[in-house]
Amino acid sequence: MSWPSARPPKAFTRRRLVGVIVGLTVPSAAWTAPAHADTDQDSGANRNRAGRTAGKANGSGPSGRPGSKDADNPAVFGATKPPSTLRDEAEIAAAAEAKMVAEIDADLKRLGFTGSPAAESAILGPGGPVPTVGMVGLVPNARALAAYVADNYPGVQAIGGVRADPLPDHPSGHAIDIMIGWNSGLGDAINADIQGQPGRFGVVYTLWRVANHYDHVHVTVS
């Protein structure tokens, strides 16, 4: 009598081994697959966050373009202020000249000159286009000095000659006032020039940088 062997058949053993291997392989794939998916999702999320951060840093949206909040900001789009036209520049220049003329008139009237500076350069001969007033009645030395100043110092605002005054210098035509506004450097140059050649114009004295003589150089000649 033979007893049945306790060892299972080979075919049965193979099937059980295959089942075990498959059973172990499927969960393993299931455990490892989410790890790869999570990594990709994390990197994608990081890229999205990095893009949003960069967009905030440069003031743009996700596409890198300025957002709607920047629509009125010229700097974002490189817009510039329209350049001024020639008409605008001419109007500004005319306004500045009118202001200067008004200031000259006020200074001359303060000194006692009547009327506005007139174009009396013809009286001065070759003198430049410096506004003058009170040229009629000047003695030859005073007229020559006024012409010299007008011809050599175009920065002078105006030259005044004959006017009413308690002192005889201006009423007699022996004095001129050279208006330089508040350009003290110009006043220094003119005063030094005139004092350096007294014989040429018969200079008696000058008044400059003393009381009431900070905006003009006074010169009395013989």
For 54-86, what is each residue's pLDDT tens digit?
444 454 444 445 455 555 555 555 556 667 787
Place of tokens 């966050």: 49
Among the listed residues 176, 162, 182, the one whose alpha carbon sits nearest the alpha carbon of residue 100: 182
The Cα angle at residue 69 between residues 67 and 72, in degrees rounded to 5? 110
Asked whether the predicted pLDDT for residue 147 surpasses 50, the reply is yes
- Distance, in Å, from the CA atom of 119 to the CA atom of 132, rounded to the nearest integer, reads 6
* 30-55 average pLDDT score: 47
pLDDT computed for residue 28 by the predictor = 42
pLDDT computed for residue 5 by the predictor = 47
More confident residue, 175 or 131: 175
pLDDT computed for residue 102 by the predictor = 84
Q: What crossing angle do the helices spanning 140-152 and 184-195 adopt, rounded to 10°?
A: 130
Which residues, including other chains, have CB under 8 Å from residue 211's CB and lie 6 or more apart? Answer: none
Share of the chain above pLDDT 90, in %: 40
- Please give the mean pLDDT across all residues of the chain: 74
Which residues, including other chains, have CB under 8 Å from residue 115's CB and lie 6 or more apart? Answer: 133
Share of the chain above pLDDT 70, in %: 59
Q: pTM of this prediction?
A: 0.59
Coil, strand or helix at 142: helix
Asked whether the predicted pLDDT for residue 144 surpasses 90, the reply is yes
pLDDT computed for residue 86 by the predictor = 79
**Distances, alpha carbon 13 to alpha carbons 10, 102, 142, 186, in Å:** 5, 121, 139, 120
